[in-house]
Amino acid sequence: MEHQYPDHRVDGRRTYCVTGATGYVGSWLVKSLLEKGHAVNAAVRNLGSCDRLLTLWGGGDRLKLFRADLHEEGSFDDAVHGCHGVFHVAASMDAIVNQLTDDDRDVEAKVIKPSINGVLNILGSCLRSSSVKRVVFTSSISTMTARNEEEEWLPVVDESCRIPIDVVWNKKSSGWVYALSKRLTEDAAFQFAKENDIQLVSIITTTTAGPFLTLTVPLSIRVLLSPITGQSELLSVLSAVNSRMGSIALVHTEDICNAHLYLMEHDQAQGRYICCTNSCTLSELVHHFAKVYPSPNSQRVVEPEKVSVPTEISSKKLKDLGFRYKYSLQEIIHQTVDSCINYGFLPPIKTERK
């Protein structure tokens, strides 16, 4: 039996559900929504992991916590109940670094199918709710490529430049499991949304950096800082991104969260949107780091650039919709380093910034 729920909108304020609320982007998105006056149903796998975040989030009675698991059918029903929209941010980035095996069947069974079933589980809950008007799906730049079918570099990467599934399977480059999982999960989400008349918008996140609320340093930041820390396993991931995309695209924590809400609320939003403040090559990134945080590791880890003219990772579609970024590439790098020094991940170094 279907129930009619109120819009929950008062003076422009609505109730939204955020999955993966304890993750890097998810936790900041909850904070951002509460600061804007919205009510939030935060869906998490482990309620015990929220104690510290509850203090940072605030929100009072506008914040409600729900235990929900991507692998348990119907477990998101209560979390989306009465919500105007759902932000599906939950995803595991472990597959970027922790390759389970090169056995295709193992990858499909342990990573891809659970990821697809997870998003269909959430969309099923949205379908059963008469209140949800739109779902914003958090995708990844890992689903994109800067090369055409002839392996030639593209001058501009836009939303149409999706990495071919067969290329991912065959090449198995660093991070291929995560890329394949996100690509196939996004495909399944759009197919389900089309068949069931659900408004679905996908936001393609680039390397997200800046401040964070999580108890540990987010993986995307550890990957970004690998030229400083010299962690070879993470550096191989960053190098693979640079090799595949021709540059490394960045976006600030606050900007990616603002873009999520912008795409949720804009009537004309549809399809996929790249969210990228700017991009730079790996050598340029190391140069930026050298000015902010000099490190002997920086010069040792730079690989020869693969592109004479860096590929532009275009956010034109999102900008044409009216979205504006708050933070520059230099500000992202500065704030990321500062946050990691304050956290204790990077030792403090006295240096005069240029």
Model pLDDT, residue 142? 87
Model pLDDT, residue 176? 74
| More reliable by pLDDT, 131 or 12 | 131
Closest CA to 83 of 39, 123, 122: 39
Centre a 10 Å sphere on the Cβ of residue 51 and count the other Cβ atoms it contains.
8
Let me know if residue 322 belongs to a domain. yes
Highest mean pLDDT among 174-178, 296-300, 324-328: 324-328
Let me know if residue 230 belongs to a domain. no
Highest mean pLDDT among 141-150, 289-298, 312-321: 312-321
Model pLDDT, residue 75? 95
Residues marked as catalytic: 182
Q: Please, which pLDDT band fits residue 240 given cuts at 50, 70 and 90?
A: confident
Q: State the first-to-last Cα distance of the chain, in angstroms, to the nearest integer.
A: 64
Let me know if residue 200 belongs to a domain. yes
Q: Please, which pLDDT band fits residue 244 given cuts at 50, 70 and 90?
A: confident
Let me know if residue 352 belongs to a domain. no
> CATH number, domain at 76?
3.40.50.720
Give the integer Cα–Cα distance in Å for 294 and 228. 8
Model pLDDT, residue 297? 61
Model pLDDT, residue 68? 94
Q: Is 260 helix (H, G, I), strand (E, B) or coil?
A: helix
Least confident of 123-127, 187-191, 299-303: 299-303
Let me know if residue 217 belongs to a domain. no
Query: What is the domain extent for residue 110?
Result: 15-212+249-279+312-326
Q: Please, which pLDDT band fits residue 6 given cuts at 50, 70 and 90?
A: very low
> What are the residues whose beta carbons fall under 8 Å from the beta carbon of 300, sequence distance 6 or more?
230
| More reliable by pLDDT, 279 or 176 | 279
Q: What is the mean pLDDT of the chain?
A: 86
Give the integer Cα–Cα distance in Å for 257 and 23. 13
Let me know if residue 345 belongs to a domain. no
Let me know if residue 236 belongs to a domain. no
Let me know if residue 291 belongs to a domain. no
Q: Is 188 helix (H, G, I), strand (E, B) or coil?
A: helix
Q: How many domains does the chain have?
A: 1
Q: Is 32 helix (H, G, I), strand (E, B) or coil?
A: helix
Least confident of 41-50, 106-115, 122-131: 106-115
Closest CA to 309 of 281, 283, 289, 277: 281
| More reliable by pLDDT, 93 or 324 | 324
Centre a 10 Å sphere on the Cβ of residue 47 and count the other Cβ atoms it contains.
12
> b/e map of 140-157 (b: 16 or more CB within 10 Å)?
bbbbbbbbeeeeebeeeb
Closest CA to 270 of 321, 324, 316: 321
The answer to whether residue 351 scores a pLDDT higher than 60 is: no
| More reliable by pLDDT, 92 or 28 | 28
Model pLDDT, residue 10? 47
pTM beyond 0.85 = yes
Least confident of 109-123, 170-184, 185-199, 208-222: 170-184
Averaged pLDDT for residues 156-178: 81
Whether 44 contacts 272, CB under 8 Å: no
> What are 205-238's pLDDT values in tens digits?
999 999 999 999 999 999 999 999 989 889 988 9
Centre a 10 Å sphere on the Cβ of residue 59 and count the other Cβ atoms it contains.
18
Model pLDDT, residue 26? 96
